[in-house]
Structure 1
């Protein structure tokens, strides 16, 4: 398997290729797509291949803005300008509710239009960085672009959700994608959260789906503030607290809605955790473990850019891998947290671990000087944005 973790600022963008199959999971910002992903997609098209699956893990600008750029440029499924796309997974408002939007009052429409006029949030910039516009069409949601392009969306028209109860194992050439999150219960909670926010703004009508409210939903979620990690003060201290001392669960409803999956291609298994809640991942994996599924993976993409709110001690007791990926430039929320990185490498193992990061951060620099408490060997690779080959562990 080959995997590329793109330089996506404080976001996520991964392309996984093996056995002639290609899976794109998130795409960072528009500039991430323009500067890096577009060329790789043209290369795979020249090889006679396609994007077999595009996953928008959840509605957050640092994950989906590059996908908005992709679909803005790609046009329709019948005449793709960049690359053919077989399937798209994206849980939009129309995927979460069967409630129908009929007549809308003027005041309700004004509220939704005001949300849409804000457009997409500006990218979080590192000092000296030059991120351009977030998308080719500032007012377009990913949902509207998928719909307009006629893409196969959540196996049909996007009116059903990607959830563990609906989607188990999706076959790909030479492998599969097994959905381990979110649950339908988590998505139902996400919808209730959206309804509460609308009511607080004075909205009185149905929640959708409909074109204006679909766009308003996505744009509102993109602007929702993220909780700050409770730690990171230990970076300036001589020692560091254990992950168990500082871990607090993530309260973000958008992160909790993340599509998480085990991607297995060519016999290689990669656990892709998006920004998921650790508790949800543990619950899903414990079920699979009881069914005989190994919790030793060939690689793990660490949840939420290495935030200590999304990797719990319980999760690290359950899973392991020789390779870990952490995607963030550290700007905005100070990810990754050193406590998470240290907890990964401090565990005893009879193999060496490699931590790949697409940027150098204070936490990764400190990790390079760290000695595993169990004396288990590990290596740290910063600025790892080229293709990485993953073998069977």
Structure 2
């Protein structure tokens, strides 16, 4: 076996990765939707367990359904940390709403075991109004999922965010050299947290506070109960995921230079930008997992080159521009559903990635630009790999 294998799983419109190291330690980065876990991740974890592997870290980058839903199902089936049914998990990193945002001072003073009757009635009205505005099948953000995940961690005795004094995953140092010196050691890996920082978390908390004041007044109360989770889920679903809208480019215009500038450069929402971005180092191998976060917030802490870079947000252009200007990857990973739902990845992003010197690009599905990209390989000297589930490093 090579030093490590990145298992790049098909996850519909989500993310799901397992990094398997040659010492039988593994790291999971996101778990996709429930069917991703059932059809892809669970069989892999059973196989890894049979090989004598264990998961030293399961990292859930943020609470979007396409990253966390499969993780909930995994924890339910895996059972107690001390007697796992599928595979041993040593540590979990996850910044949920209830273990992160609601622990902040501005929210703690509002916590009640029982919410007052007036707010309860108002909650019922607001829930009804929001349900009319939002298609429940399309909601990407789930406070209910967040609470379920946190409760499963507690009930089954998993070590959640134990490497951090305040139990919140965040970058607290603004220097690359200090980040390297203070890297967190888990198993034989050294892990650097590049994002979020306090500013990202504060921005998301402020957004939440404003939404709650708008709906319930300055003296609103908070509760950990499921009905409040549902309400908060509906409020945060109004933070729409960035869509893709770009100029159509025909096969006859197949030059990468023509693809630059075709993106609308949609910005990430505050939930995405508060997600966890990590650099993982093992035996001199460096892997970067960018979640769905905008690299404007953390690219200055990157090193010059990585063995693997998982680009942000399924190949959307805006969050990756600064990353591509700052560093290169021997292997670039783009997690996408092949453009079936969200038209990811964007032409603009693909052109920027190749023209900035990244020559080996992997996709977990075939994509709509496959024909044009394959036709241009010799001209631009890059390699495209589609649906390869194991990438050896």
Q: Assess same fold via TM > 0.5.
A: yes
Asked if 1:174 is matched to 2:218, the reply is no
Aligned residue runs from structure 1 range 215-254, under 5 A: 216-217=231-232, 221=236, 224-234=239-249, 238=253, 241=258, 243=260, 246=263, 248=265, 250-254=267-271
Aligned residue runs from structure 1 range 1-393, under 5 A: 1-18=4-21, 19-93=23-97, 94-96=99-101, 97-98=104-105, 99-100=107-108, 101-102=111-112, 103-109=114-120, 122=137, 141-155=148-162, 160-165=167-172, 169-202=183-216, 205=219, 208=222, 210-212=224-226, 213=228, 216-217=231-232, 221=236, 224-234=239-249, 238=253, 241=258, 243=260, 246=263, 248=265, 250-285=267-302, 294-312=303-321, 314-329=322-337, 330-348=339-357, 353-371=359-377, 376-384=380-388, 386-390=389-393
Q: Is the 8 A contact 2:96 2:147 kept in 1?
A: no
Tell me by how many angstroms 1:177 deviates. Answer: 1.5
Larger CA deviation: 353-362 vs 220-229 = 220-229
Q: Is the 8 A contact 1:8 1:29 kept in 2?
A: yes
The separation in 2 between residues aligned to 1:121 and 1:44, in whole angstroms, is 36
Q: Secondary structure at the match of 2:100?
A: helix
Residues 277-335 of structure 1: CA deviation (Å, up to 9, x unaligned) = 020132333xxxxxxxx4111111011000012111x3212110221111111233211
Summarize the Cα distance change of 1:194–1:138 in structure 2 as closer, same or farther, 3 Å threshold: closer
Summarize the Cα distance change of 1:198–1:161 in structure 2 as closer, same or farther, 3 Å threshold: same
Larger CA deviation: 325-334 vs 208-217 = 208-217
Q: Is the 8 A contact 1:304 1:310 kept in 2?
A: yes
The separation in 1 between residues aligned to 2:390 and 2:234, in whole angstroms, is 32
Q: Mind listing any 5+ residue stretches in structure 1 that lack a counterpart?
A: 125-134, 286-293
The separation in 1 between residues aligned to 2:319 and 2:135, in whole angstroms, is 25
Q: TM-score, normalised by structure 2?
A: 0.81
The separation in 1 between residues aligned to 2:36 and 2:272, in whole angstroms, is 21
The separation in 2 between residues aligned to 1:159 and 1:76, in whole angstroms, is 24
The separation in 1 between residues aligned to 2:82 and 2:200, in whole angstroms, is 34
Tell me by how many angstroms 1:16 deviates. Answer: 0.5
Larger CA deviation: 222-231 vs 248-257 = 222-231
Tell me by how many angstroms 1:368 deviates. Answer: 1.8
Q: How many residues were matched structurally? A: 365
Summarize the Cα distance change of 1:21–1:216 in structure 2 as closer, same or farther, 3 Å threshold: farther
The separation in 1 between residues aligned to 2:32 and 2:79, in whole angstroms, is 19
Summarize the Cα distance change of 1:245–1:35 in structure 2 as closer, same or farther, 3 Å threshold: closer
Tell me by how many angstroms 1:170 deviates. Answer: 1.9
Tell me by how many angstroms 1:91 deviates. Answer: 0.8
Residues 235-286 of structure 1: CA deviation (Å, up to 9, x unaligned) = 678256454574636241111011011111232111111111020132333x
Larger CA deviation: 82-91 vs 141-150 = 141-150
Q: Mind listing any 5+ residue stretches in structure 2 that lack a counterpart?
A: 174-178
Q: Is the 8 A contact 2:161 2:167 kept in 1?
A: yes
Larger CA deviation: 143-152 vs 219-228 = 219-228
Q: TM-score, normalised by structure 1?
A: 0.81
Summarize the Cα distance change of 1:176–1:6 in structure 2 as closer, same or farther, 3 Å threshold: same
RMSD over aligned Cα, in angstroms? 3.3
Counterpart of 1:129? none
The separation in 2 between residues aligned to 1:237 and 1:106, in whole angstroms, is 65
Q: Is the 8 A contact 1:62 1:123 kept in 2?
A: no
